[in-house]
Amino acid sequence: MPISAARHPTTPFPIQKDEAEWRAWLDAKIARGEAEPLAYEVTRRAATERAFTGRYADWWQLGRYHCVACGAHLFDSDAKFDAGCGWPSFWRAVPGAIVERLDRSHGMIRTETLCAQCGAHLGHVFDDGPPPTGLRYCMNSAALQWQPLPADDAC
């Protein structure tokens, strides 16, 4: 399955904050231990954490992955796989949770992934993932917040 010609939506994201509000919001989450120190740089400035350093690179507990900035549900643990790249990787996103945009930074052409609710930079998606989608959503741990499955969803 080819990656779509990604682009930013023409309408604003449903959750809007200016950069000072995002900085304050994420700094407060970091202070409470609810976000990694790189959360602002990754989600608002498209930074990338170093490979194999993120909290969720080798995290295999059942649960859901949410946007650290707004709480939107992005991925489920049953779609996570070990891509060996040093970042949490998923072969499927929650439908409608991700917006794609062409990224020509750093002399490369890639497909950037953004939270569809708040526009937070999450990582990139590549077409070298496993079946059935063939996709590899390569995410920054600092952009994610894991939550265990609710008791009624647990096996």
Indicate if 138 belongs to the active site: yes
Which candidate, 40, 43, 36, places its Cα nearest to that of 57? 36
What is the spatial order of strands in the sheet that 136-139 belongs to? 80-81, 89-90, 136-139, 121-126, 110-115, 98-103
Catalytic residue among 70, 85, 138, 155: 138
β-partners of residue 89 are 81, 138
CA distance 14 to 106: 29
Specify the DSSP element, H or E, that contains 70.
none
CA distance 78 to 101: 25
Catalytic residue ranges: 138
